[in-house]
């Protein structure tokens, strides 16, 4: 058997695959953060809560309305995105003229409220969301058993990430968005409705988080605390990537998934720590992050 650093090749390949799948979640979440940050300059601390709300909305939709997985994948991001737009319109806009740190604090408060409220109604043990029938079972790849659902997650996340990148880099809407990031006063002067653009952007970023939440529902127990621990890791991913670039967020997300996956084989004790270590190293060499512009 071929061995790579004392690990059979088959196992090694399997671990890379799993790392990539985890990385897809990091990519989706850090992409949403990057989009929001680009235009609003706010670190959305409620991003984990929105991810969690996405998973919960899918679960409740299934339990009370019989909403199936595919519809949930479509509707839940719209629903949570709508909630996000309300938050932007009635809260974040009121403090937009202030130091951006206030945005971080406000969304932190919102995250506490969302998490605490759901804990009171649903407890913390979480519930399981059934894997949709079309995606049950798995492929035998020869080197590993790959559940179909995980393959789907990777595919769906990559498609959404690329789609987002396309919208932002190649469409008129995206051009407005990028221009708004650079100079919103000038955009306003050109007749672009910047406040509306901001509301849409926040809604879209939050919808990405909710989409990731629905994707995660069949994988992990749906519980009110599922978002907050993940969020901190995603923050580190964002710092490593630098906040300037959309593609940077996606690539760093996938890359960090791989790094974490390999750590789980060679030194599992450090699996939760390794991303933070990478972050420290990157900060020492490139303070603006791998893809970031010098601030």
* Site residue total, other proteins (CB under 8 A): 82
Among 60, 71, 79, 95, binds other proteins (CB under 8 A): 95
163 binds other proteins (CB under 8 A): no
**Footprint of other proteins on residues 190-209 (CB under 8 A)?**
none
Using CB under 8 A, which of the segments 62-70, 176-184, 234-242, 247-255 binds other proteins? 234-242
Using CB under 8 A, which of the segments 177-185, 186-194, 202-210, 278-286 binds other proteins? 278-286
Q: What are the residues whose beta carbons fall under 8 Å from the beta carbon of 243, sequence distance 6 or more?
A: 33, 34, 37, 38, 249, 289, 292
Using CB under 8 A, which of the segments 69-77, 178-186, 247-255, 276-284 binds other proteins? 276-284
Strands 7-8 and 145-147: unpaired
Among 56, 69, 235, 291, binds other proteins (CB under 8 A): 235
Among 2, 5, 133, 295, binds other proteins (CB under 8 A): 295
d(CA 70, CA 6): 42
82 binds other proteins (CB under 8 A): no
Residue whose CB is less far from other proteins, 1 or 191:
1
77 binds other proteins (CB under 8 A): no
Please state the closest distance from residue 173 (CB atom) to other proteins, in A: 25
Residue matched to tokens 């709508």: 82
Is residue 190 within 8 Å of 166, Cβ to Cβ? Answer: no
Among 4, 119, 134, 159, binds other proteins (CB under 8 A): 119
Q: Across-strand partners of 139? A: 146
Please state the closest distance from residue 270 (CB atom) to other proteins, in A: 8
Among 98, 141, 186, 189, binds other proteins (CB under 8 A): 98
63 binds other proteins (CB under 8 A): no
Residue whose CB is less far from other proteins, 147 or 167:
147
Please state the closest distance from residue 25 (CB atom) to other proteins, in A: 9
Among 60, 71, 96, 147, binds other proteins (CB under 8 A): 147
Among 68, 82, 86, 94, binds other proteins (CB under 8 A): 94
138 binds other proteins (CB under 8 A): yes
d(CA 250, CA 10): 26
Helix 101-122 vs helix 226-241: crossing angle, to nearest 10: 150
229 binds other proteins (CB under 8 A): yes
């Amino acid at each position: 058997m071929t061995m790579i650093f004392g690990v059979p090749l088959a196992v090694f390949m399997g671990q890379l695959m799993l790392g990539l799948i985890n990385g897809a979640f990091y990519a989706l979440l850090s992409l949403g953060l990057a989009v929001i940050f680009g235009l609003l300059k706010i670190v959305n601390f409620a991003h984990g809560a929105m991810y969690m709300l996405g998973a919960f909305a899918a679960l409740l939709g299934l339990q009370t309305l019989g909403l199936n997985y595919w519809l949930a994948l479509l509707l839940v991001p719209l629903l949570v995105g709508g909630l996000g737009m309300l938050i932007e319109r009635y809260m974040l806009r009121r403090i937009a003229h202030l130091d951006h740190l206030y945005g971080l604090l406000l969304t932190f408060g919102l995250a506490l409220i969302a998490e605490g409220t759901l804990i009171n109604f649903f407890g913390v043990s979480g519930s399981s969301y059934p894997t949709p029938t079309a995606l049950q079972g798995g492929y035998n790849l020869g080197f590993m058993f790959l559940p179909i659902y995980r393959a789907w997650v990777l595919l769906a996340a990559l498609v959404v990430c690329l789609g987002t990148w396309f919208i932002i880099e190649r469409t008129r809407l995206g051009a407005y968005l990028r221009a708004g990031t650079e100079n919103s006063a000038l955009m306003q002067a050109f007749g672009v409705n910047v406040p509306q653009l901001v509301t849409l952007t926040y809604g879209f970023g939050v919808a990405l988080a909710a989409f990731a939440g629905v994707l995660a529902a069949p994988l992990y127990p749906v519980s009110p605390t599922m978002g907050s621990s993940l969020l901190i890791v995603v923050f580190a991913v964002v710092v490593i990537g630098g906040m300037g670039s959309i593609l940077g967020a996606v690539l760093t997300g996938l890359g960090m998934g791989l790094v974490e996956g390999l750590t789980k084989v060679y030194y599992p004790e450090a699996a939760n720590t390794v991303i933070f270590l990478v972050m420290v190293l990157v900060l020492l060499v490139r303070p603006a992050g791998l893809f970031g512009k010098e601030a």
